[in-house]
């Protein structure tokens, strides 16, 4: 866990129901500043949109982004893609789904 915490990369682990179970400080700094939960993927996107954190949402419609994203989110075991943040940074996401979800 120390390697994940100190890596400088944003690391998060979600359970099979899409509840956040682990987030290192880098991830928290990108998505969770001042956030008290609930920690579902969709709620984190909503919080970010309301507070100027996280991913840039073209058109500003967070609910449309969630509707497009959730059906694809766990559709394959592994995927990689780039995303832009509202603060102008971008990062590469490596998304893996384990057999147990």
Domain of residue 78: give its range.
2-96
pLDDT of residue 12: 92
Residue 101 lies inside a defined structural domain of this protein: no
pLDDT of residue 41: 93
pLDDT of 2-15, one tens digit each? 888 888 889 999 99
Give the distance from CA 8 to its chain's centroid. Answer: 16
Give me the number of domains the chain comprises: 1
pLDDT at 1 over 90: no
pLDDT of 27-56, one tens digit each? 999 999 999 888 999 999 999 999 999 999
Whole-model pTM? 0.86
Supply the CATH number for residue 64's domain. Answer: 3.30.450
d(CA 40, CA 63): 14
Residue 85 lies inside a defined structural domain of this protein: yes
Nearest to 54 by CA among 44, 63, 64: 44
Q: Decide: helix, strand or coil at residue 4.
A: helix
pLDDT of residue 33: 94
């Amino acid at each position: 866990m120390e390697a994940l915490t100190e890596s400088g990369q944003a690391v998060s682990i979600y359970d099979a129901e899409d509840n956040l179970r682990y987030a290192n400080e880098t991830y928290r700094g990108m998505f969770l500043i001042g956030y008290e939960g609930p920690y579902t993927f969709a709620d984190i996107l909503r919080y970010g949109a309301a507070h100027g954190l996280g991913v840039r949402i073209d058109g500003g419609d967070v609910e449309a982004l969630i509707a497009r994203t959730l059906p694809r989110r766990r559709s394959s075991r592994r995927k990689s893609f780039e995303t832009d943040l509202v603060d102008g940074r971008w990062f590469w996401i490596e998304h893996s789904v384990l057999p147990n979800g």
